[in-house]
Amino acid sequence: MRVGVVREIAPEERRVALVPDAVQKLREAKMTVLVERGAGAAASFPDQLYVDAGARIVTTAAIYSTTDILLRIHRPTPAEVELLHEGQVVIGLLAPLLDPRAMLALAHRNVTAISLDAIPRTLSRSQGMDALSSQANVGGYKAVLIAANAFGRYFPLLTTPAGTAKPANVLVLGVGVAGLQAIATARRLGAMVKAYDVRSDTKEQAESLGAQFVTLKSAIEATGQGGYARALTAEEQAAQQSELNGIIANSDIVITTAQVPGRRPPVLVTKAAVEGMKTGSIIVDMAASELGGNCELSRPGKVVASANGVEIHAPLNLPSSMPTGASIFYSRNISNLLLNVVSDGAIHLDFDDEVTAATVITNGGKVVQPATLKLLQPAPKGGAQA
């Protein structure tokens, strides 16, 4: 069985789906590894390292035409979809709920699409395949470094002959994997950290890393399926926001991480909240995307300053800014998922297996994942299209 590693062509993407250290593991499972020329260069993995590990370097045409399985970070572009052949398997962070029609295009090519962002995170055995968590970990770390670099004062308490510098007050909104890493990193830098999440069961995790957990008087339990937060109702958001604005106003740094899979991120930092912050404060909106962000004033991919001098960062791909480390983690995730569906040098899809059932989006010329399929159904008469 031939496994191909593609070179990512998305703007600003520097990661690679498989690093040289993982090649031998796949070869031991009776797989031949082909790597598109230059695939790992931006992540500091030159072609020679893959060759030394036992992989073959091939052209773009060869990677699409001669492989059985393609490993990648992002979903294929329309042009790349045209290069795929019938029966091929594509594995990556395909984000099927954000673009279900792209999954339909893969089904029409009779391609089996397997998406790492559909991993059921509540299964203990799937943790080694959970690419969303591994990449969020990188993002949470880097978000704090961005904030520290932009902030005009020290993070830690510092006593010098010239006087004492107070520690920075950091607020982390969203205590998932990214939020926990942000808390840990900010604490390592010496900041005073507060954390807030609509899921009360995250309190102990935040406090274990040295953060003070914020409990609102209007506290609402919002734990959803699969360990994610559910979307709040308009009434719940209004009650939460009124209290949250006061806490935001007293923070020097705000790191926002709150996302709901397949949905627009909730706005946690409103324009009014930004207007209440001190000049020189920093916001890093990790949830920023084409769907929006956690900060009302965020501009995806940009750094903007509010009228009162608050700097708002909305980076789009933080893991790519640390490509070597992020690629190493991602490579382990995708290798583990691949080995879950390959045995004796052939692919075997067991839909009784929870991981397989959740992550296979298209198979046999059809979209088979229920959540994606639902988004492709025509809207009821008189109703809006999903």
CATH number of the CATH domain containing 50: 3.40.50.720
Residue 383 domain flag: no
Going by DSSP bridges, is the β-strand pair 69-74/2-5 parallel, antiparallel, or unpaired?
parallel
Name the residues annotated as catalytic.
Answer: 121, 127, 130, 133, 228
Residues 328, 273 within the same domain? no
Residue 66 domain flag: yes
DSSP reduced 3-state for 283: strand
Q: Which domain holds residue 49?
A: 2-118+323-373
Residue 276 domain flag: yes
Q: Which residues pair with 93 in a beta bridge?
A: 74
Q: How far apart are CA 225 and CA 358, in angstroms?
A: 13
- Look at residues 301, 320, 339 and tell me which one is the last residue of a structural domain: 320
The two three-digit tokens of residue 209, written as one number: 């890393």
Residue the block writes with tokens 């004796």: 344
53 and 299 Cβ atoms separated by less than 8 Å? no
**Phi-psi region at 87: left, alpha or beta (left = phi > 0; alpha = psi -120 to 50):** left
Q: What is the pLDDT of residue 56?
A: 98
Q: What is the pLDDT of residue 386?
A: 42
Residue 146 domain flag: yes
pLDDT tens-digit map of 99-149: 999 999 999 999 999 999 999 887 788 899 999 999 999 999 999 999 999
Q: What is the pLDDT of residue 220?
A: 63
How many domains would you assign to the chain? 2
Which among 298, 335, 294, 291 is positioned nearest to 313, based on CA atoms? 298
**Rg of the chain taking only CA atoms, in angstroms:** 22
Give Cβ neighbours of residue 11 (< 8 Å, ≥ 6 apart).
none
Residues 335, 309 within the same domain? no
Residues 150, 290 within the same domain? yes
Residues 248, 277 within the same domain? yes
The two three-digit tokens of residue 260, written as one number: 């709901």
Residue the block writes with tokens 């506290």: 219
Residues 89, 77 within the same domain? yes
Residue 131 domain flag: no
Q: What is the pLDDT of residue 239?
A: 73
Residue 338 domain flag: yes
Residues 255, 237 within the same domain? yes
Residues, the chain: 386
DSSP 269: B
333 and 118 Cβ atoms separated by less than 8 Å? no
pLDDT in tens, the chain (386 residues): 999 999 999 999 999 999 999 999 999 999 999 999 999 999 999 999 999 999 999 999 999 999 999 999 999 999 999 999 999 999 999 999 999 999 999 999 999 999 999 998 877 888 999 999 999 999 999 999 999 999 999 999 999 899 899 999 999 999 999 999 999 999 999 999 999 998 889 999 999 999 999 998 866 655 555 555 566 677 777 777 888 999 999 999 999 999 877 678 889 999 999 999 999 999 999 999 888 899 999 999 999 999 999 999 999 999 999 999 999 999 999 999 999 999 888 899 999 999 999 999 999 999 999 999 999 988 666 554 54
Q: What is the pLDDT of residue 124?
A: 80
Residues 303, 327 within the same domain? no
Residue 172's Cβ-side half-sphere holds a number of Cα atoms within 13 Å equal to 34
pLDDT tens-digit map of 146-199: 999 999 999 999 998 998 999 999 999 999 999 999 999 999 999 999 999 988
Cβ burial, residue 188 (10 Å; 0-12/13-18/19+) = middle
Q: How far apart are CA 107 and CA 88, in angstroms?
A: 11
Core vs surface per residue 20-59: b (16+ CB within 10 A) or e: bebbebbeebebbbbbbeebbebbebebebbeebebebbe
